[in-house]
Copies of this chain bind each other. A is one copy, B any other.
Amino acid sequence: MGFDDGEPVFADKGHDHAQCKARAISGAEAICLSLDLRLTDLRRQVLEIIWSSHKPIGAYDILESLSAQRGRVAPPTVYRALDFLVSHGIVHRIETLNAFVGCREPGPDHDGQFLICSDCGVAAELNDPQMMAAVVRSIRHAGFQPVRQTIEVSGLCPECLEQSRGE
């Protein structure tokens, strides 16, 4: 299930998040290098802000954080950077939250499936081929040609679930 990197779907509380972020930046650099894209300062800063946690962050929260770094910034600046990052599979948009989250395995043309904790706010990305296959199979029966899929499940992450059982 999920990625084949052996990592848990939900990073535990004490994990080395600096490493998460560093790996994400490296991945973005690799993509831009291979596709001849430009990871400008602005885009890199936005990506770093998004990776400041595993919780999806809204465009205007990004804007605020960005303004602290480079002075007054207007919405289009943020949205353009987001468009770039999302269109190249470096960041995902969470439709149910109007928010953005970093991709663990960046690359073109993948939609992922997201588990979003309604308690603590963290989001985890799956990329389960069996789930995707089940969805596509069901859809094809309807004569529908899928292009883009949005799968977002809200609920309780393992930690918050554990906590709720304790009470």
Contacts and interface: CB of A to CB of B under 8 A. Distances in A.
Interface residues of A, number: 39
Copies in the complex: 2
Interface string A2-40: 100000111000000000000000000000000000000
B147 A150 contact: no
B126 A95 contact: no
B150 A96 contact: yes
Q: Is the interface of A mostly helix, strand, loop or mixed?
A: mixed
B148 A150 contact: no
Contacts of A96: 95, 150
Interface stretch (A53-61, A78-86, A154-162): A154-162
Given A134-B131, A147-B156, A142 B95 contact: no
